Amino acid sequence: MRVLVQRVSEAAVTVDGRISGEIGAGALLLVGVEEADGPDDIVWLVRKISQLRIFNDADGVMNRSLLDCGGDALAVSQFTLHASVKKGNRPSYSRAARGEISRPLFERFVDELSAALGRPVPTGVFGADMRISLINDGPVTIWLDSRDPE
């Protein structure tokens, strides 16, 4: 699984003109699932995201996590994170898992992250055409890939 983490002052996802999920200060999570992903990938990512120290402490040093500061998380399914542009100029999405595989894994990721944070994690609408608005704070943007955990 791949997750692009963006520290935000606020973020929202809209589908058909209706807000399906929104947060204040916290992290916008764009989540991509590939065919080989499973429960171990979710466990690693949930632990990493909930404990990732990307929020400022009293001295202005990024030393606090979502757990430490009580920040929110907004998760949006994003199959294009597995795009390959090695051949030509049109991206290939062959590594991205099909919906019947990726939807349950995305939903489990959201459930486990909600449990780890102790509060609901709002989402977009799986497979929908979504509009995301955000105020990137910093900006701070971190790339996580469970296939490359080092």
Specify the pLDDT at position 87: 87
Confirm whether 126 is a catalytic residue: no
Each residue's pLDDT tens digit, 12-51: 999 999 999 999 999 999 999 999 999 999 999 999 999 9
State how far the Cα of 64 lies from the Cα of 56, in Å rounded to an integer. Answer: 6
93 or 118: whose pLDDT is higher? 118
Select which of 6, 14, 51, 78 is catalytic.
78
Confirm whether 80 is a catalytic residue: yes
Confirm whether 6 is a catalytic residue: no
Judged on CB neighbours under 10 Å (0-12, 13-18, 19+), 15 is middle
Give the predicted TM-score (pTM) of the model: 0.95
pLDDT of 149 higher than 90: no
Select which of 55, 79, 106, 109 is catalytic.
79
User: Which CATH number is correct for 2-145, 3.30.70.600, 3.90.1150.10, 3.30.300.130, 3.50.80.10?
Assistant: 3.50.80.10
Each residue's pLDDT tens digit, 121-137: 999 999 899 999 999 99
